[in-house]
Amino acid sequence: MLLADIANLLGGELIGDGNVDLQDVASYEEASPTDLSYVESAKKLNTHSDAGALIVPRGLGIGRPGISAENPRLSFARAVLLFRPPRKFQPGIDASASISETARLGDGVYVGPFASLADGVVVGDGSCVGAGVHIDHDVRIGSECHIYPNCVVYADVEIGSRVILHAGVVVGADGFGYVPDEEGRFFKYPQTGRVVIEDDVEVGANSTIDRATLRETRIGRGTKIDNLVQIAHNVVIGEDCVLASQVGISGSVKIGRGVMMGGRVGVTDHVEIGDGAILGADTGVLKSLEGGKMYLHTPATEIRDARRRIAVLRNLPRLSERVNELEKRIGKLES
Amino acid sequence: MLLADIANLLGGELIGDGNVDLQDVASYEEASPTDLSYVESAKKLNTHSDAGALIVPRGLGIGRPGISAENPRLSFARAVLLFRPPRKFQPGIDASASISETARLGDGVYVGPFASLADGVVVGDGSCVGAGVHIDHDVRIGSECHIYPNCVVYADVEIGSRVILHAGVVVGADGFGYVPDEEGRFFKYPQTGRVVIEDDVEVGANSTIDRATLRETRIGRGTKIDNLVQIAHNVVIGEDCVLASQVGISGSVKIGRGVMMGGRVGVTDHVEIGDGAILGADTGVLKSLEGGKMYLHTPATEIRDARRRIAVLRNLPRLSERVNELEKRIGKLES
Amino acid sequence: MLLADIANLLGGELIGDGNVDLQDVASYEEASPTDLSYVESAKKLNTHSDAGALIVPRGLGIGRPGISAENPRLSFARAVLLFRPPRKFQPGIDASASISETARLGDGVYVGPFASLADGVVVGDGSCVGAGVHIDHDVRIGSECHIYPNCVVYADVEIGSRVILHAGVVVGADGFGYVPDEEGRFFKYPQTGRVVIEDDVEVGANSTIDRATLRETRIGRGTKIDNLVQIAHNVVIGEDCVLASQVGISGSVKIGRGVMMGGRVGVTDHVEIGDGAILGADTGVLKSLEGGKMYLHTPATEIRDARRRIAVLRNLPRLSERVNELEKRIGKLES
């Protein structure tokens, strides 16, 4: 592809020779003379790259051809799609799939081998249901979704449009609740609610989202969830949140809009996390948190205080020695 | 349903007008005038609810119709089943299922699409094997079990009656063990034992329970395990335990009866946890623990001491400052 | 089996009566007179065992028949295979499997019921693809691999020989990356790289290994990964590493050769861990770590210092009280 054409498609401004012929995309360090790459700041330009062309922030001078763009990282992500367009699936229903007579499939739907769709399932236009997926009765799936192989969606779940569920995701399994009965054994608390996954949500491989006890577990529009994440019953997550891998959200937690969670954040049950809160990896949330702030550590603490705490924690043996020394010194003074 | 009939079915005592017509169940806060709800104490009654009727503890006065019961939460859980009866599966073997000629299925069994049952598998009366489940050779499953879609049960596993495995559960995969060989490479330690899951166990979605090295991994009767939990080889868990999501139990751990573990508790290998121990979320167990006590934090510590430790930890920067100040003050005194 | 024959097969030296007839293997404590067991040191011999014969280190006297060996644990692991030989699968393609015309299968391959192999898939000689496995297009699998039921391998993944993927493993799902677009919504960063799993790797049940953004995620030869482990995009793991259950490795991490990680170790993105580093369970890695050392705790610290820190942490309330006392004593001196 010619650099001039790429600049045009990305809506960026051409720098230098537009006839440079590029064949692929690569990271700045690994790029060869036929690769397009990008930088986000001038600092990176101090290190070497063989990239044939660079997408750079507006106003940044580079000694080679390139494209200047408002947001080089976003433009580069779009360029990746130009060089490596995603394989289009062929619509069609695999002959081996098991589809209830009462299921309704939109136009351009793909259903893979050994997928099974139970009574009353609805799948919107252009959605893709991978091999071995099981969709239980009365599930509604919007348009242009991608349900990867071997996912399981329990009954009555509602999934919006452009939702991606990666392989092995389980949506709508029973929430975890029991009541001791008269003989002290666990009576299973019926989990009769449902799950709603709004538009543009993506859920990573082998993550689990439980159905509500009575009403609904809800994942807000645009929220992105990584692999091996647990979302318990009755949880409500707002729009445009990001939950990294191995996060665990306990029952009835309410999470606002635009909340970011690093890997393995854990949240205890029945707390609320305000809009725009940012939780560093491994943060343990034991109480409700105000939005718009950054938190770290367990118990979750605003980042400045958390960092101070971690700094002392790191040198705890020295603190202990200093107390030893103080005791000796004061002993001397006293005697 | 009429309140009087519900009171009758639940074995509770009617309060007020038995002719109130109820249509659904709901939580206290969300209930409408046609909903049945419940409270566990008088305190809750200070907040508003539109519930048409309430299940309440015996002797509690309410200004509306209701039912008085020994255990309102248990009675309400039972009421949920009255209003929202679980969908009955139709027994029958899906034509697409792959079932060995040597497998034996009881009466009233359901086997879903694309399930595969290998040689020598036994499934008891009334059990349900979901779509895409694979049951390997010589597995024995009791009666009235529910194996949700896409579970995998490795060879020789024994499963009791009324066991529930949610979607994606893997039972009987190899334990994790290797021995360095003469060239320093890992020789796979053969995992030739099995897994026994006793009656009334429930296992959450995508959890994993490994087979033993030589003998057995065992999950005791009535034990409840949440999603994404790891149970390693040779672990023995007693009856009526509760393990919340993302718990990890290392190899050869012995857990007594009635042990409760909050989310993401981790237990190191070869330790024992006594009957009735309660471990708060995120507790890290590095040594054996006595039963009948509550523990928290890492390393696991009895709750009173753990809370003291956490309180100091929370204010660690202040402790450090106080040591700074002490050093200054003592320096002054010394000079 | 006669002890003399076993000694011969294992290449160990017979001790005492070679005609002892053994029927099974068992642990030292659980062995009966017809069982073979082993000890690694003289100390263990102080406790009782009914074992009919023991594999012991060279030069160790025992009052019963046995075998002396360089590495008794390794020899015993091999003996387990003699007494309990793994069931051989019968090569063959199940009639129900869905295999693209353009897929190429080697000799002696097994493909189970409801497995699906997409266009361009290659499976080497003697490999076993379990029931319900989905292998997406252009995946290459070497010889003598065992892909257990319901695994999913995304497109373009490359898997070496003698690789074991336990049930529910997902290889090649999209890495977790987004760029905010002009309207502040998340634009999905295309994940167009692949995963390479080298020879002799084993991956535990329900673990997930994401594809790279542009190039490759790589798992080195001989590396062993336990259940429910997360490997993010662009991670490179060296040869002969061991990652225990619930470990989480963030994006672009580089791990050297022979690195050992206990359960639930977490590693932040873009750091490097040197050859032979050993990380205790639950270690949290926030910065790059030198090889050849043992680490513990969060933030990861060399084991001696980490243990000191943990010791102080354990007695933190006492440290706080001592500071209280110092303040009182110094107050008295000052006044």
Q: Could you give the domains of chain A?
A: 3-83 (3.40.1390.10), 92-306 (2.160.10.10)
Give chain B positions within 8 Å (CB) of A266.
246, 263-264, 281-282
Q: Does B40 touch chain A (CB under 8 A)?
A: no
Q: Does C327 touch chain A (CB under 8 A)?
A: no
Cα distance between the two ends of chain A: 86
pLDDT of residue A274 exceeding 90? yes
Is B14:B62 a contact under the CB 8 Å cutoff?
A: no
- Work out the mean pLDDT of chain C and round it to a whole number: 97
The alpha carbon of B147 is separated from its chain's Cα centroid by a whole number of angstroms, namely 15
pLDDT of residue C61 exceeding 90? no
pLDDT digits (tens, 9 = 90+) for C166-177: 999 999 999 999
pLDDT digits (tens, 9 = 90+) for A39-93: 999 999 999 999 999 999 998 888 899 999 999 999 999 999 999 999 888 999 9
DSSP 8-class letter at C80: H
CA of B232 vs chain A CAs: smallest distance (Å): 18
pLDDT of residue B62 exceeding 90? no
- Which DSSP string corresponds to A234-248? T-EE-TT-EE-TT-E
Q: Does A266 touch chain C (CB under 8 A)?
A: no
Closest CA to C237 of C262, C259, C253, C255: C255
Q: Would you place residue A334 in the very low, low, confident or very high pLDDT band (cuts 50, 70, 90)?
A: confident
CA of C299 vs chain B CAs: smallest distance (Å): 14
Q: How high is the pLDDT of residue A188? A: 97
**Closest CB to B190 among C80, C164, C317:** C80
Give chain B positions within 8 Å (CB) of A174.
164, 166, 204
Q: How high is the pLDDT of residue B272? A: 98
pLDDT of residue B260 exceeding 90? yes
pLDDT of residue B89 exceeding 90? no
CA of C180 vs chain B CAs: smallest distance (Å): 30
Is B80:A214 a contact under the CB 8 Å cutoff?
A: yes
Q: Does C205 touch chain B (CB under 8 A)?
A: yes
- Which DSSP string corresponds to A48-93? ----SEEEEETT---SS-EEEESSHHHHHHHHHHHHSPPPPPPPEE
How far, in Å, CA of C16 to CA of C67, rounded? 9
Task: Tell me what the mean pLDDT of segment C216-239 comes to.
Answer: 98
How far, in Å, CA of B25 to CA of C241, rounded? 53
Is C252:C234 a contact under the CB 8 Å cutoff?
A: yes
How far, in Å, CA of B262 to CA of B266, rounded? 10
In the chain, the amino acid numbered B140 is R
- Residue where the block lists tokens 């002993």: A331
Q: Does B74 touch chain C (CB under 8 A)?
A: no
Ramachandran category for residue B40: left, alpha or beta (phi over 0 → left; psi -120 to 50 → alpha): alpha
Look at residue A47 and give its three-state secondary structure.
coil
pLDDT digits (tens, 9 = 90+) for A224-260: 999 999 999 999 999 999 999 999 999 999 999 999 9
Q: Does A248 touch chain B (CB under 8 A)?
A: yes
pLDDT of residue B61 exceeding 90? no
Q: Would you place residue C88 in the very low, low, confident or very high pLDDT band (cuts 50, 70, 90)?
A: confident
How far, in Å, CA of C243 to CA of C264, rounded? 9
C-alpha to C-alpha distances, B214 to B156, B188, C29, C84, nearest whole angstrom: 13, 14, 12, 10
pLDDT digits (tens, 9 = 90+) for C124-146: 999 999 999 999 999 999 999 99
How far, in Å, CA of A275 to CA of A264, rounded? 20
CA dihedral B154, B160, B164, B170 (to 10 degrees): -20
pLDDT of residue B292 exceeding 90? yes
> Do the chains contact at C77 and B190, CB–CB below 8 Å?
yes
Cα distance between the two ends of chain C: 86
pLDDT digits (tens, 9 = 90+) for B148-182: 999 999 999 999 999 999 999 999 999 999 999 99
- Work out the mean pLDDT of chain A and round it to a whole number: 97
Q: Does A281 touch chain B (CB under 8 A)?
A: no
In the set C137, C233, C270, C297, the catalytic residue is C233
pLDDT digits (tens, 9 = 90+) for C247-292: 999 999 999 999 999 999 999 999 999 999 999 999 999 999 999 9
Give chain B positions within 8 Å (CB) of A116.
112-114, 131-132, 149
pLDDT of residue B83 exceeding 90? yes
pLDDT digits (tens, 9 = 90+) for A175-215: 999 999 999 899 999 999 999 999 999 999 999 999 999 99
- Which DSSP string corresponds to A6-41? HHHHHT-EEES-TT-B--EE--TTT--TTEEEE-SS
Closest CA to C73 of C39, C48, C34: C39
How far, in Å, CA of C80 to CA of C316, rounded? 48
CA of B161 vs chain C CAs: smallest distance (Å): 24
pLDDT digits (tens, 9 = 90+) for B92-147: 999 999 999 999 999 999 999 999 999 999 999 999 999 999 999 999 999 999 99
Q: How high is the pLDDT of residue A239? A: 98
Task: Tell me what the mean pLDDT of segment B242-266 comes to.
Answer: 98
pLDDT of residue B335 exceeding 90? no
Does the active-site annotation cover C297? no
Q: Does A220 touch chain C (CB under 8 A)?
A: no
Q: How high is the pLDDT of residue C142? A: 98
CA of B194 vs chain A CAs: smallest distance (Å): 24
- The two tokens of residue C48 are 């009782």
**Closest CB to A230 among B71, B112, B228:** B228
Q: How high is the pLDDT of residue C334? A: 86
- The two tokens of residue C241 are 């590493």
In the set B134, B166, B233, B297, the catalytic residue is B233
How far, in Å, CA of C221 to CA of B96, rounded? 39
Lowest pLDDT segment from A161-170, B256-265, C41-50, C251-260? C41-50
Pairing, β B202-203 against β B194-197: unpaired
**For residue B109, how many other CB atoms are within 10 A of its CB?**
21
ipTM of the shown complex: 0.97
Question: CA angle, B47 as apex, B44 and B50 as ends, to 5°?
Answer: 105
Burial class (CB in 10 A: 0-12, 13-18, 19+), A85: exposed
Strands (E), A77-211: 92-93, 98-99, 104-105, 110-111, 116-117, 122-123, 128-129, 134-135, 140-141, 146-147, 152-153, 158-159, 164-165, 170-173, 178-180, 186-188, 194-197, 202-203, 208-210
Strands (E), B262-306: 266-267, 272-273, 278-279, 284-285, 294-296, 301-302
Q: Provide the chain C residues 157-196 that lie in CB contact (below 8 A) with chain B.
A: 164, 166-168
